[in-house]
Amino acid sequence: MTTSRPSDDLVVVEGVSKSYRVRSLQRQAMVENLLRWALGLDVRRQEIHALRDVSFRLSRGESLGIVGVNGSGKSTLLKIVAGIATPSSGTVELRARVSTQLALGAGFHPYLTGRENIFLQGSILGMTNREIRELMPTIIAFAGLEDAVDRQLWTYSLGMTARLGFAVAAHVPFELLLLDEALGAGDQAFRDRCTQRLESFRASGATMIIVSHGSENLRALCDRVMWMDHGEIRALGPTAEILDRYEDSVEGGGPGTNRGAQVRQGSKS
């Protein structure tokens, strides 16, 4: 995919790593570190490496699945692509208006009315007030909140609030959709509806990144799948092939047992 014309790449991730310092441990080691620093020794840092040297490209119209066990760095990578988290090193180029599931209802204010919240939320997601004003009737109708839109948000039921959040997000123009299956709740019927909606998105040529524990949905939705393991790309390739290998590994004794020839292995320190 790296051979495609550069203008077609919506996302270019190059050598991205992310590490967090563990501060409680750092405080305990403060005196020791001061001494080490004074003596010219290496300062001991307690760090968690969430991502190590991740690189990939995504071109327009392509959809990428990311699988891996808990703590493999999938969600961190998604946040970095979305521009919410900052990589410790490496670069992310984003040439698309992004819509993320994380943003649903972020910034909703309980004491503002539904209408005021639509303005606030719409501008948080990048729309101008003029654009929002034009879309207002559509958004209200989509959410089915004609009667409640001028009431304060705290009077809404959970379902009404969720509908409002979704209605705003669904009307913001975007080119790249970032989804995290771990966040998606709801019953089977709702999930089926979501899958259907995603398939129609895909048919219309939308670009997507979907993070998952490894669900069958990915087979229908994704062109390529990336397998994350301990913050590194373990494998990246055609959906069926990677998912088969990943599932074998998860079922047979956990990740790390299945190491194919094409699997990229990074050093683990």
Partner 1 sequence: MASGVGETLARPDLLRNLVWAELTARYKTTAFGVLWFIINPLLMMGILVVIFGRFVNLEIPNYPVFVLAALLPWTFFSMGITNCATSLSRAAGLVKRVRIPRAFVPLSALMAGLVHFLISLLMLFVLMAITRVRISPLIIFLPLVLVLQFAFLTGAGLLVASLNVLYRDVEHVLVPGLQAMFYFSPIFYPISYVPKVWLRWYLLNPMAGIIELYRNTLVAGWPASTMVAEMALATSVITLLAGLLVFRRLEPHFDDYI
What are the residues binding partner 1 (CB under 8 A)? 20, 79, 82-86, 98, 100, 102-103, 106-109, 111-112, 116, 119-120, 123-129, 152
Query: What is the three-class DSSP state of 210?
Result: strand
CB of 196 to partner 1, least distance (A): 26
235 contact partners, CB below 8 Å, separation of at least 6? 226, 227, 242, 245, 246, 260, 262, 263, 264
Which is closer to partner 1, CB of 82 or CB of 143? 82
Measured distance CA(158)–CA(173) in Å, rounded: 25
Which is closer to partner 1, CB of 108 or CB of 227? 108
- From the number of C-beta atoms within 10 Å of its C-beta (0-12, 13-18, 19+), residue 243 rates as buried
CB of 149 to partner 1, least distance (A): 15
Which is closer to partner 1, CB of 116 or CB of 247? 116
CB of 216 to partner 1, least distance (A): 28
CB of 102 to partner 1, least distance (A): 4
Residue 68 near residue 232, CB atoms below 8 Å? no
170 contact partners, CB below 8 Å, separation of at least 6? 142
Residue 17 near residue 52, CB atoms below 8 Å? yes
CA 87 distance to own-chain centroid:
14
Which is closer to partner 1, CB of 134 or CB of 251? 134
Which is closer to partner 1, CB of 104 or CB of 226? 104
CB of 209 to partner 1, least distance (A): 15
